[in-house]
């Protein structure tokens, strides 16, 4: 696995907020940053990175291609534009943001274009986001020997995506959990609060440690410096088998899904 286990997510962070958060994160020791063309914050992130003093080779930078740019030429051109905004010659990882299974551009085209972007040196690695099992199988067929670095999907205590997780584990495919904190819902959960008290931790740290303990990468976000610092400590939190079993019982299935745009989503497993 080359995708870092812990990084900073920047979804919904804009303008001066994303500048401040990324600057704080880098000062605190974050060395992986996740963005996307659709987040409309690549330029601000690039500005902070260039001024941070942190060597480029120390930061693992991920962006995602938005569906409007899935045509071959548009994908390549848009990624070049992303590099300009981020002020880098190459990103470490580029993902297809959503599969859009019933869209005008077929997966064969945008996946092949993504592989071409890798071959051209625009991105070191490639991957996907929000792909179901069928989509992952198709992606492997299209990409051939080009490895899929990760599939970034919504995974949190209330939506544990067990079928997809088991498939990925059997196939050796890495997963990145996004919305691991369920947009803050974990903070008020009595089970997670109880586990947190037993470890002198926070419910957020418990949720992140749970995901990390399954081998997933995580990319939590916060606008508060103290939360950014606290989240980092989840990397050293070791949950017991009983803790993991209690969290497993929190599963609510599809009713708990947060990110679910009808025009782009696959048929979830």
> Do residues 266 and 135 lie in contact, with contact meaning Cβ atoms separated by under 8 Å?
yes
Q: Give me the domains of the chain, ranges plus CATH numbers.
A: 8-255 (3.20.20.100)
The reported pLDDT for the residue numbered 21 is: 98
Mean pLDDT of 198-227: 98
pTM above 0.75, yes or no: yes
Of the listed ranges 86-90, 99-103, 112-116, the one predicted with least confidence: 99-103
The arithmetic mean of pLDDT across residues 161-183, rounded, is 98
In the predicted model, what is the mean pLDDT of residues 46-69? 98
Mean pLDDT calculated for residue range 111-133: 98
pLDDT band at 129 (very low <50, low <70, confident <90, very high): very high
pLDDT for 121 equals: 98
Say what the pLDDT of residue 171 is. 96
The helix/strand/coil state of 93 is: strand
pLDDT value at 90 more than 70:
yes
Q: How confident is the model at residue 1 (pLDDT cuts 50, 70, 90)?
A: low
Active site residues: 39
158-163 average pLDDT score: 98
> How far is the C-alpha of 204 from the C-alpha of 210, rounded, in Å?
10
pLDDT (mean) for 34-40: 98
Q: What angle do CA 223, 226, 231 make, to 5 degrees?
A: 85
Neighbouring C-alpha atoms within 13 Å toward the C-beta of 106:
4
Give the separation between CA 118 and CA 217, rounded to whole angstroms: 22
Residue 151, C-beta contacts closer than 8 angstroms, at least 6 positions apart = 127, 128, 129, 131, 136, 164, 168, 173, 174, 175, 176
* pLDDT for the residue numbered 260: 95
| Percent of all residues in the chain with a pLDDT value above 70, rounded to a whole number | 100
């Amino acid at each position: 696995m080359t995708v870092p286990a812990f990084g900073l997510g920047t979804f919904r962070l804009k303008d001066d907020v994303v500048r401040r958060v990324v600057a704080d994160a880098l000062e605190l020791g974050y060395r992986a940053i996740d963005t996307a063309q659709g987040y409309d914050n690549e330029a601000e992130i690039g500005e902070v990175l260039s001024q941070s003093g942190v060597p480029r080779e120390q930061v693992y930078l991920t962006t995602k291609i938005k569906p409007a740019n899935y045509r071959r030429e548009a994908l390549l051109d848009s990624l070049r534009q992303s590099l300009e905004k981020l002020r880098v010659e190459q990103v470490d990882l580029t993902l297809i943001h959503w599969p859009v299974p019933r869209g005008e551009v077929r997966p064969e085209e945008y996946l092949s274009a993504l592989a071409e972007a890798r071959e051209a040196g625009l991105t070191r690695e490639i991957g996907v986001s929000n792909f179901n099992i069928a989509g992952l199988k198709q992606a492997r067929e299209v990409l051939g020997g080009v490895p899929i670095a990760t599939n970034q999907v919504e995974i949190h205590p209330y939506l544990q995506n067990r079928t997809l997780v088991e498939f990925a584990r059997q196939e050796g495919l890495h997963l990145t959990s996004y919305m691991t904190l369920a947009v803050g819902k974990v903070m008020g959960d009595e089970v997670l609060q109880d586990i947190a008290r037993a470890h002198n931790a926070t419910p957020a740290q418990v949720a992140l440690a749970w995901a990390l303990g399954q081998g997933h990468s995580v990319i939590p976000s916060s606008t508060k410096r103290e939360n950014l610092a606290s989240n980092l400590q989840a990397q050293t939190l070791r949950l017991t088998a009983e803790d993991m079993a209690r969290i497993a019982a929190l599963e609510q299935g599809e009713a708990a899904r947060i990110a679910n745009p009808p025009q782009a989503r696959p048929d979830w497993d």
